Structure 1
Amino acid sequence: MFTTYENFTAGGQQSIHTWFHAGNPWAALNAFHGKANHSLYIPQTIINLITSGQKNMYDGSHMAHLCPGDIYLIPQGSLICSEILPQTYFESFSCTVPLPLLWLYVDEKVEAVVKHSTKLQVPQQWMEWLALPHISPITAYHGILQTIQQAPSGNAILQMLYKATVSEHRSVEEVLQYQLAQIQSLDEIAAACYMSTASLKRKMQAIYGKSPMKYVWEKRAALACFLMRTSELSIRDVAFTSGFQDVSHFHRTFKKYFGRTPMQLKNELYSQSFTTGVL
């Protein structure tokens, strides 16, 4: 269902350079030559800076279209669908966010916490610096964090990353990584995570601001949208593959999150393929 994103590697990529600390990768510059699609479980908080090309990212409740200069923040434990668009050379700089570094930036007084993966824009001077062959990853790393901190919701975003890093919700995400399509009730999630339904509700509400089952339906909708764009499955097969037991429920949920029905999206994609020759 979802593949664990480890060591900054995903199918079809060309690794340009990876930086290590104490034998573990902490940052990487990667490239793709053409279209690539991935459904990923993110075990560590990731900051992804787009330097060339375009891609779409789906995290369940939000869809982001990313271009050069965009930063995409992905909290630890997220389930993400990534669609690198065809006919473009794609390159990005990715790095983890270790807890000690977050402590330098997080304002403990912040009460409003961002609840989802987030897109930000890098200042132009940072894009110019990153284009230089001698740019230090440490310099880029701290520059990105400073950019986040200076954004209107910067402290709230850093608080979200901090909260995801130190939380105990990872077992929930790991269960959903493999069982997203099979789980049908709150009791099933709680049992798989070895916790009570009350504890599960409290943890999910504190971290994401929503109930566990609402979170599940959002992730299923994101996976369905991803499959609609990247596969030739029928709408019915997309619904069942994503974990929907009823096609009419799938239509209602899909429209709620993406503003159009599955058939409307299918027609849009067909129109694009007719015009450009690709989906």
Structure 2
Amino acid sequence: MYTLFDSHALKGQHAVKTWQQNGYRWASYSLYREPASHELYIPHTLLNLVIQGHKRMYDGRQVHQLEAGDVLVIPAGTLLCSEILRPAQQYRSINLVIPDEMVMSALAGRARLQDAYSKELTVQSGDRRWRQLATTLLQGFTEEGNPGLACENILSQALHLVSSNGALSSMLLKAVKYPLPDMMDQLRTRLPEVRFLEEIAQMGHMSTATVKRRFREIYHCSPMQWIWEKRLQMAGFLLRTTEQSIPEIAYSTGFEDITHFYRQFRRCFQVTPLQWRHIETDLFSK
């Protein structure tokens, strides 16, 4: 269901440019001229800088509406859904992928692991320093040949801006301090199938007690609660981006009973699936 974000090339792109260092793709520029939607598994810390246009990012119980000037901060190991809305002209963004070791070294002294907490996705906006960084990157991508921008310097600048938020730094640090790569790589394709905690623990090669502790440390919820939120996230995304029937969406995302799906969906989003599909409300505000 969720595509591994590694090459930076996604369906619907009109153009994409990437920068590499030692074979590692650390930055990309994307241009869209038509609506597009993606289900993505983000294995490493990712910063998404919106240059032009609008999009929605689905994060469990919350939908983020992003516009030009916003920066979406995504921890390593995240499953998310992205909807690029009908662009009046075009949608442009820049992605920065930050290696785990850089996150550890830059944020270890700034985050308070025990008492600071941020949600999985965090939107930062209105900071002129982010706008300046985005302008510098955009100029580099629009120039022909060598952009002349050093990977380490750019990523260090970005992490310095992130580090001013202690709760956000904590979230990013926890995600790389307690990685679950084997588990997430399986969950990205098997999420609708999972029924028991023991299955999740087996995917991560750990005991049920350990996997419960890890999810509490990183996501502040139980593993099965996280699973159900991701299923509802995908259901909400499919309702907005496809013409599949509501029962089809319910069954494809892991719900075995339609009544249970309706009840859980309304409890999560405060509207019915049909209302969610057709209305524009504060649910889609920033």
Over the matched positions of the two proteins, sequence identity in percent amounts to 33
Q: Indicate if the aligned counterparts of 1:175 and 1:189 stay in contact, CA closer than 8 A.
A: no
| Residue aligned with 1:130, SS | helix
1:181 alignment partner, SS class: helix
1:55-204 maps to which residues of 2 (within 5 A)?
55-88=55-88, 89-102=90-103, 103-106=105-108, 107-110=110-113, 111-124=115-128, 126-127=130-131, 130-131=134-135, 134=139, 136=149, 141-150=155-164, 154-204=165-215
Instruction: Give the aligned residue type for 1:47.
Output: L
Task: Indicate the RMSD between aligned Cα atoms, in angstroms.
Answer: 2.1
1:146–1:193 distance in 2 versus 1, CA, 3 Å: closer
After TM superposition, give the deviation of residue 34 of structure 1 in Å: 1.3
Q: Partners in 2 of 1:125 and 1:166 — Cα distance?
A: 28
Q: Tell me whether 1:267 sits opposite 2:278 in the alignment.
A: yes
- The 8 Å contact of residues 15 and 28 in structure 1, kept in 2 or not, is answered as no
**1:127 CA drift (Å):** 2.4
The one-character-per-residue Cα deviations of 1:18-71 (angstroms, maximum 9, x if unpaired) are 111112111111111110011111111111010111110012132111111111
Other-structure match for 2:31: 31
Q: Which amino acid in 2 is paired with 1:145?
A: L
Deviation track 1:159-190 (CA, whole Å, cap 9, x = no partner) reads 21121123232222122111111111212222
| TM-score, length of structure 2 as denominator length | 0.85
Q: Give the structure 1 partner of residue 265 of structure 2.
A: 254
Distance in 2 of aligned mates of 1:165 and 1:61: 23
Conserved? CA contact 1:57–1:65, under 8 Å: yes
Gaps in structure 2 of 5+ consecutive residues:
141-148, 281-286
For 1:73, the aligned partner's letter is: V
**What residue in structure 2 maps to residue 237 of structure 1?**
248
Cα gap change, 1:195/1:130 in structure 2, threshold over 3 Å: closer, same or farther? closer
Deviations 1:174-216 (A, max 9, x none): 2211111111121222233332211211111111110010000
Q: Is the 2:98–2:155 Cα contact (8 Å) retained in structure 1?
A: no
* CA drift at 1:261: 1.2
**1:148 Cα offset (Å):** 2.4
Aligned length: 266
d(CA) in 1 for partners of 2:133, 2:210: 46
